[in-house]
Chains A and B, each alone.
Chain A
Amino acid sequence: MSNAIETQGLRYRAGKDFEIRDLSLTVREGAIYGFLGPNGAGKTTTIQLILGQLRPQGGTISVLGRRVPQDLPAILAETGYVPERPHLYPYLSVNEAIRYHAAFYVAFDGAYADQMLGTFELPRDRKLSRLSKGEMGKLHMLLVLAQRPKLLVLDEPTDGLDPVVRRDVLSALLDFCSRGGATVFISSHLVHELERVCDWVGLLDRGRLVAELPMDAFKNGIKRIRLVRAPATSIPTPFEVVSRGAEVGGEAWLVRGWEPPMAQWFQQAGAEVRAIEDLDLEDGFVELLRGARGPAA
């Protein structure tokens, strides 16, 4: 299977405090890839690099098998992009915005756009400057879905939307994906939102890719293990120790890549396992971030 997005050693620096460092990420074709990270982690910058809106200081980017920025128009013809903040021209009406957008895309599906206008209850003749945030979000989603893209890049598409609109937007996205097999790259800091839709997760923090793994592995493979007589750090483990810390009566380890038979390893190492706890996605996200920011104790 080929990759829809692939970056190798991507570097970008903006000012003194922000830097994307050697970012190598892989989004497989057909995947719904959740790009997670706290605010300011560099998600939007990464997306702008991938779409050729910013010029990297190093590294390579390929999208849909083509090179960025050399093949950008061909890439963008097959890519739908919903930016973090709406940037459509506010003096256009909804109808005019659709006509304007459609003029750039050969495969634009006008009938689908009409249908979605009804589904999203968007007023055709209203100026964009008079649309609510939710209506603007829906319009953006309508435009990119009607493009019939092979790749959808969504930058916090539901941020600031009320739950009803959020559900409408995500439903439209899932409906589109179930029909077409497009690849979706969706950035968010709303962990639970991605849990519902994504099958792959990349975790970005301070410009570094902390983890990239299938959603199942992210959900099920991260455990908090409470131990008595914890073994030394130098012993090799069959799982990855993200972090470990002392607690009353022993230690708590956060491990990644966990599978139930691995419990035997602790017994062999002379430790007693008191509890193996599942982490919900948000806890896993937070713990992974903590582990990445500080060395395992």
Chain B
Amino acid sequence: MFRQILWAQWLAARLAVAILGVLAFAAPLLAVFWGGDLRSAGSDQVAYWLQGSERIAALLPYLALLIGVAAGFLAWSPDHAGRHVYALSLPVSRARFVALRFGAGAVITAVPALALLAGAIVASLSVSLPEGLHAYPVQLTLRFLLASLTLYAIIFALSISTKRAQLLTAGAFGGVILADLLLAAWGVSFSVTAETLILLTTWPGPLSILAGAWTLFDV
């Protein structure tokens, strides 16, 4: 049963996953594009190279976000299109069906992470690092996978939630933006949006995985 759900879900998501997988594979390779043999390079040169590498790595949280959002939406979009009539006629409890769908989406989310791992390993092997600098392909991949899964879980839950819950979520976002506009109109130099983002992206905020170190190379 899970295999069939996974296959059906893969068919729905494969194009998006393939594109994002290629980007995930390419990102670490781009990060070492200007590298090569850095063992005899000066510290300024290494620092400059690391900065370039980090700029590329900074795109990875956004990529993880895109993967999570795509996998979350595509997990339910075929059922949404059919108003869930077919899914509800199948002889499994709703909770089990949701669990199966979630599991299948989680497996699909792992595909770009595997592509990232492959790209990160190739990138790590293609550059000779100076002493004291190390490559962390597995750690980077785990962070990427966890970030993708977190975003996937949020979008998955929103996507299957009731209209009311979706409206409440949209209303909360709208409220934050409206509060900012009102504060700006009254000349108050306080951003609710910025504070909310900080709250969400700093531990124990649910999106804290997106912040922090995303570099493939570190001391």
Question: Contact residues of A with B, CB < 8 Å?
Answer: 51-53, 72-77, 79, 81, 83, 85, 87-92, 96, 99-100, 103-105
User: Given A51-B89, A103-B4, A104-B92, 19 other A-B contacts at CB below 8 A?
Assistant: A52-B88, A53-B85, A53-B88, A53-B89, A73-B91, A73-B92, A76-B89, A76-B91, A79-B91, A87-B83, A87-B85, A88-B86, A91-B78, A96-B11, A100-B4, A100-B8, A103-B3, A104-B1, A104-B91
Does B219 interact with chain A (Cβ within 8 Å)? no
User: Min CB distance, B204 to chain A, in Å?
Assistant: 37
Q: How far is the CA of A90 from the CA of B93 in the complex (A)?
A: 23
Does B62 interact with chain A (Cβ within 8 Å)? no
Are the C-beta atoms of A99 and B78 separated by less than 8 Å? no
Contact residues of B between 157 and 194, Cβ < 8 Å to A? none
User: Min CB distance, A293 to chain B, in Å?
Assistant: 30
With a cutoff of 8 Å between Cβ atoms, the chain A residues found around residue B78 in the complex are 89-91
Closest B residue to A97 by beta carbon equals B8
With a cutoff of 8 Å between Cβ atoms, the chain B residues found around residue A81 in the complex are 89
Closest A residue to B93 by beta carbon equals A73
Enumerate 30 A-B pairs (CB-CB under 8 Å) in ascending A order. A52-B88, A53-B84, A53-B85, A72-B93, A73-B93, A74-B91, A76-B90, A77-B91, A79-B89, A81-B89, A83-B86, A83-B89, A85-B85, A87-B83, A87-B85, A87-B86, A88-B82, A89-B8, A89-B11, A89-B78, A89-B86, A91-B12, A92-B11, A100-B4, A100-B5, A100-B7, A100-B8, A103-B1, A103-B3, A104-B92
Q: How far is the CA of A99 from the CA of B4 in the complex (A)?
A: 7
Residue pairs across A and B with CB atoms within 8 Å: the count is 60
Closest B residue to A89 by beta carbon equals B78
Closest A residue to B89 by beta carbon equals A81
Q: How far is the CA of A88 from the CA of B83 in the complex (A)?
A: 11
- Given the known interface contacts A87-B83, A91-B78, the answer about A105 and B4 at a Cβ–Cβ threshold of 8 Å is no
**Chain A interface secondary structure, helix, strand, loop or mixed?**
loop
With a cutoff of 8 Å between Cβ atoms, the chain A residues found around residue B7 in the complex are 96, 100
Contact residues of B between 199 and 215, Cβ < 8 Å to A? none
Closest 9 CB pairs between A and B? A87-B82, A77-B91, A76-B91, A103-B4, A87-B86, A87-B85, A81-B89, A100-B4, A89-B78
Closest B residue to A147 by beta carbon equals B91
Are the C-beta atoms of A91 and B93 separated by less than 8 Å? no
Are the C-beta atoms of A105 and B12 separated by less than 8 Å? no
Q: How far is the CA of A99 from the CA of B82 in the complex (A)?
A: 19
Q: How far is the CA of A81 from the CA of B86 in the complex (A)?
A: 9
Are the C-beta atoms of A104 and B90 separated by less than 8 Å? yes
User: Min CB distance, B90 to chain A, in Å?
Assistant: 5
User: Min CB distance, A109 to chain B, in Å?
Assistant: 16
- Given the known interface contacts A92-B11, A103-B1, the answer about A83 and B85 at a Cβ–Cβ threshold of 8 Å is yes
Q: How far is the CA of A89 from the CA of B1 in the complex (A)?
A: 16
With a cutoff of 8 Å between Cβ atoms, the chain B residues found around residue A96 in the complex are 7-8, 11
Q: How far is the CA of A148 from the CA of B3 in the complex (A)?
A: 22
Closest B residue to A155 by beta carbon equals B85
With a cutoff of 8 Å between Cβ atoms, the chain A residues found around residue B93 in the complex are 72-73
- Given the known interface contacts A103-B1, A103-B3, the answer about A92 and B8 at a Cβ–Cβ threshold of 8 Å is yes
With a cutoff of 8 Å between Cβ atoms, the chain B residues found around residue A100 in the complex are 4-5, 7-8
Q: How far is the CA of A51 from the CA of B89 in the complex (A)?
A: 7
With a cutoff of 8 Å between Cβ atoms, the chain B residues found around residue A103 in the complex are 1, 3-5
With a cutoff of 8 Å between Cβ atoms, the chain B residues found around residue A90 in the complex are 78, 81
- Given the known interface contacts A83-B85, A103-B3, the answer about A91 and B91 at a Cβ–Cβ threshold of 8 Å is no
Q: How far is the CA of A73 from the CA of B83 in the complex (A)?
A: 19
User: Min CB distance, A101 to chain B, in Å?
Assistant: 8
Closest A residue to B11 by beta carbon equals A91
Closest B residue to A52 by beta carbon equals B88
